Protein backbone atom coordinates (compact mmCIF):
# COMPACT_ATOMS: atom_id res chain seq x y z
CA UNK A 1 0.00 0.00 0.00
CA UNK A 2 2.77 2.44 0.91
CA UNK A 3 6.50 2.31 0.60
CA UNK A 4 6.97 3.60 4.17
CA UNK A 5 9.21 1.15 6.00
CA UNK A 6 10.16 2.79 9.29
CA UNK A 7 13.51 2.14 10.85
CA UNK A 8 14.36 2.62 14.52
CA UNK A 9 15.07 6.36 14.07
CA UNK A 10 11.76 7.00 12.32
CA UNK A 11 9.80 5.15 15.00
CA UNK A 12 11.47 7.28 17.68
CA UNK A 13 10.73 10.47 15.68
CA UNK A 14 7.06 9.54 15.33
CA UNK A 15 6.85 8.75 19.05
CA UNK A 16 8.44 12.12 19.87
CA UNK A 17 6.02 13.98 17.58
CA UNK A 18 3.10 12.17 19.22
CA UNK A 19 4.32 13.16 22.70
CA UNK A 20 4.76 16.79 21.66
CA UNK A 21 1.38 16.94 19.84
CA UNK A 22 2.94 17.54 16.40
CA UNK A 23 1.98 14.20 14.82
CA UNK A 24 -1.40 15.27 13.41
CA UNK A 25 0.13 18.44 11.96
CA UNK A 26 2.96 16.37 10.42
CA UNK A 27 0.55 13.87 8.88
CA UNK A 28 -1.66 16.64 7.45
CA UNK A 29 1.40 18.23 5.89
CA UNK A 30 2.39 14.87 4.40
CA UNK A 31 -1.08 14.56 2.84
CA UNK A 32 -0.90 18.10 1.40
CA UNK A 33 2.55 17.43 -0.08
CA UNK A 34 1.33 14.19 -1.64
CA UNK A 35 -1.69 15.89 -3.17
CA UNK A 36 0.50 18.65 -4.59
CA UNK A 37 2.81 16.07 -6.21
CA UNK A 38 -0.06 14.12 -7.72
CA UNK A 39 0.02 14.33 -11.50
CA UNK A 40 -2.73 16.48 -12.86
CA UNK A 41 -4.25 15.11 -16.11
CA UNK A 42 -3.20 17.27 -19.01
CA UNK A 43 -5.47 17.92 -21.94
CA UNK A 44 -4.22 16.68 -25.27
CA UNK A 45 -2.75 19.55 -27.28
CA UNK A 46 -4.99 20.87 -30.01
CA UNK A 47 -3.68 19.91 -33.45
CA UNK A 48 -2.25 22.75 -35.50
CA UNK A 49 -4.60 24.09 -38.18
CA UNK A 50 -3.68 23.36 -41.79
CA UNK A 51 -1.75 26.01 -43.73
CA UNK A 52 -3.96 28.84 -44.93
CA UNK A 53 -6.72 28.04 -42.43
CA UNK A 54 -9.10 30.91 -41.74
CA UNK A 55 -11.63 30.34 -38.94
CA UNK A 56 -15.20 30.48 -40.17
CA UNK A 57 -14.24 30.52 -43.84
CA UNK A 58 -15.02 27.91 -46.48
CA UNK A 59 -12.12 25.47 -47.04
CA UNK A 60 -9.71 26.36 -49.83
CA UNK A 61 -11.04 25.50 -53.27
CA UNK A 62 -14.66 25.39 -52.13
CA UNK A 63 -17.41 27.89 -51.60
CA UNK A 64 -21.07 28.19 -50.88
CA UNK A 65 -23.43 26.95 -53.57
CA UNK A 66 -24.35 29.53 -56.15
CA UNK A 67 -27.88 30.77 -56.69
CA UNK A 68 -30.27 28.84 -58.92
CA UNK A 69 -30.68 29.99 -62.48
CA UNK A 70 -33.35 32.64 -62.87
CA UNK A 71 -36.62 31.14 -64.10
CA UNK A 72 -39.42 32.88 -65.97
CA UNK A 73 -42.60 33.60 -64.01
CA UNK A 74 -44.73 30.49 -63.56
CA UNK A 75 -41.88 28.08 -64.39
CA UNK A 76 -41.94 26.50 -60.95
CA UNK A 77 -45.70 25.98 -61.07
CA UNK A 78 -45.46 24.44 -64.56
CA UNK A 79 -42.63 22.17 -63.46
CA UNK A 80 -44.60 21.06 -60.41
CA UNK A 81 -47.63 20.27 -62.59
CA UNK A 82 -45.47 18.19 -64.97
CA UNK A 83 -43.86 16.39 -62.03
CA UNK A 84 -47.24 15.54 -60.50
CA UNK A 85 -48.40 14.23 -63.89
CA UNK A 86 -45.33 11.94 -64.03
CA UNK A 87 -43.79 13.65 -67.05
CA UNK A 88 -40.10 14.41 -67.46
CA UNK A 89 -36.82 12.56 -67.61
CA UNK A 90 -35.14 10.81 -64.68
CA UNK A 91 -32.35 13.37 -64.61
CA UNK A 92 -34.58 16.43 -64.81
CA UNK A 93 -38.08 15.35 -63.81
CA UNK A 94 -39.51 18.87 -63.69
CA UNK A 95 -37.67 20.32 -66.73
CA UNK A 96 -36.67 23.34 -64.65
CA UNK A 97 -32.98 23.15 -65.51
CA UNK A 98 -32.07 23.40 -61.84
CA UNK A 99 -32.11 19.63 -61.24
CA UNK A 100 -30.13 18.68 -64.34
CA UNK A 101 -27.13 16.69 -63.18
CA UNK A 102 -25.38 16.13 -66.51
CA UNK A 103 -22.37 18.10 -65.28
CA UNK A 104 -22.02 15.56 -62.41
CA UNK A 105 -22.23 12.56 -64.74
CA UNK A 106 -21.07 9.29 -63.16
CA UNK A 107 -21.91 5.63 -63.71
CA UNK A 108 -24.11 5.64 -60.61
CA UNK A 109 -26.53 8.31 -61.81
CA UNK A 110 -26.90 7.19 -65.44
Domain boundaries in the chain? 8-37
Calculate the alpha carbon distances from 101 to 3, 96, 98 in Å: 74, 12, 8
Cite the beta strand spans of 1-110 per DSSP E: none
Bigger pLDDT: 106 vs 8: 8
Residue 1 has pLDDT above 50, yes or no: no
From 45-54, 58-67, 86-95, the region with the lowest mean pLDDT: 86-95
Residue 33 has pLDDT above 50, yes or no: yes
Q: List pLDDT tens digits, range 96-106.
A: 666 655 554 55
Sign of the four-CA dihedral 98, 99, 100, 104? positive
pLDDT of residue 51: 84
Average pLDDT, the chain: 76
**Which residues contact residue 98 at a Cβ distance below 8 angstroms, ignoring those fewer than 6 apart?**
68, 69, 71
Amino acid sequence: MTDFNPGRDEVEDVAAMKREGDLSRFLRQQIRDGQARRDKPTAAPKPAPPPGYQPGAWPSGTGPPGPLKAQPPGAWADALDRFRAGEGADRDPCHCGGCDTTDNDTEENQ
